[in-house]
Each structure stands twice: as C-alpha cells, then as structure tokens.
Amino acid sequence: EPEVTQTPSHQVTQMGQEVILRCVPISNHLYFYWYRQILGQKVEFLVSFYNNEISEKSEIFDDQFSVERPDGSNFTLKIRSTKLEDSAMYFCASSENRDTDTQYFGPGTRLTVL
Amino acid sequence: SQKIEQNSEALNIQEGKTATLTCNYTNYSPAYLQWYRQDPGRGPVFLLLIRENEKEKRKERLKVTFDTTLKQSLFHITASQPADSATYLCALSNNAGNMLTFGGGTRLMVKP
C-alpha cells in the first residue's frame, strides 16, 4: 500500500541553524501538508500546498518557514533559523483530491533544537 | 475561537467490551470529521471520515456517529482488543483540501 515517507526520522540541530525536512507524498496525490506536534500537545496545522503554491497557512508558519516541491516527488519544509521552540515532531501529509479529503500522514521527523 | 474537545483522561476498558470515545466542538461548522489513531512517536493513521450530511459510518469493528446539532461525534470500537490500545484523535475540516484541526486525543487502554 502506498505510504507517505519522511526523512530524516530524527534531526538534531543548533539554534539558529537552517534545517530542511523532506517528504515524499503518495504518488498520485495533489494536496500536500505539513503539521507539527510538540511533545504532549495537539497536532497543529502549518501549511497546505496545491498546484505549486501555498493554499493555506497558520499563524505558526511565519517568515522563518518555507515549503517547496523541488521535483515531481519531493515536498520539503525549510526552517531558516531554528529556535528552541521549534523542537517538535513534524508530519507531512497528502491527499488525493478535493472530493476525498482523507489526509494520509507520514511517520514524522523528530526535530530537536539545542 | 474554535474548540475541539476530547476527554484527556485515559479510557481503560476490558478486552471484548465496546470502547466509546467522544469529540465535542464549538464555534465550528465542519464539513468533514475524521478519526485517526496515533501510537507513541508515530504519525496519525486514518481510520474513518464522516461528512456533515451523514449520521453514521461503519468499518469493520469501528463506528462513527456525527451529530451536527449537538456538535458531537462518537467513535466506537466493538469487541476491543489489546492491540486497539492507542491515542485516538478527532480532526475537523471545513472543506476538502483544507487544513485539519485536531483535538487533543483520548488514550485508550484495553486490558486483557
């Protein structure tokens, strides 16, 4: 069964450094998302992406964040200058089309900012 | 502001019984409501989706109800098994393709 994959599974970085989290959505899906979950807290929406542009973003998704689909398969989240409070699990998700709306999540990348 | 509430206390039940989890929401008119399962350190796994014009949805041992008047969804697992032990998340969206807003989840423990 097709799955969303994410790399790396765990990323440790120093505060102020840039990180890029990578995702490979399910191949025929058209909508892509990033969510994050701080330890012990709710899953929170960051951004959605469709047709090579951001379609929706939350207040969390400020100028430090950016997303890109650099080729036909990858979908990336970049954090330009990481802060301690960016430490969280970051989940990528994808959905097939507007009619189904089921979002399938990847296993997550655990980001630790020191 | 929009609020989605799930019982934050763990639900402990005996194997074979039916588990019932609740999701209540306020200041929201969702078009879709979804239930996910999350195991520790893992991503949410989709279980069931129910639309605003549907009252009930079933899949194997799972059943979801959606009452837009009460602003509540109930999630049932019948004949529960220890392998059903996990955190169950309720998530709402306004439209297909839009962001999901998650509740805090309810941890279910099924004891043999």
Tell me the torsion sign for CA atoms A5, A30, B48, B67.
positive
Distance (Å, whole) CA B14 – CA B95? 37
Determine the Cα–Cα distance for residues B13 and B9; give it in Å rounded to an integer. Answer: 13
| Contact state of A98 with B95 under an 8 Å Cβ cutoff | yes
- Summarize pLDDT for A76-90 with one digit per residue, the tens: 999 999 999 999 999
Count of pairs with CB atoms under 8 A, one residue in A, one in B: 67
Q: So what's the pLDDT on residue B67? A: 93
- Give the closest-approach CA distance of B109 to chain A in angstroms: 17
The length of chain B in residues reads 112
Report, as ranges of residue numbers, the positions in chain B whose pLDDT lies below 70: 95-97
β partners of residue B22 = B74
Q: Over A24-67, what HEC string results?
A: ECCCCCCEEEEEEECCCCCEEEEEEEECCEEEEECCCCCCCEEE
Supply the pLDDT for residue B106: 96
Interface of B with A in 4-63 (CB under 8 A): 32, 34, 36, 38, 41-46, 49
Using 50, 70 and 90 to split pLDDT, how confident is the model at A99? Answer: low
> Quick one: DSSP state of residue B52?
T
Task: Name the minimum distance, in Å, from the CA of A31 to any CA of chain B.
Answer: 7
- Tell me what pLDDT residue B28 has: 82
Tell me what pLDDT residue A76 has.
97
Q: What is the pLDDT of residue B99?
A: 86
State residue B98's pLDDT score. 77
pLDDT at A69: 92
| Residue of B49, B99, B103 lying closest to A48 (CB–CB) | B99
Residue B95 in contact with partner chain A when CB distance is under 8 A:
yes
CB A47 within 8 A of CB A65: yes
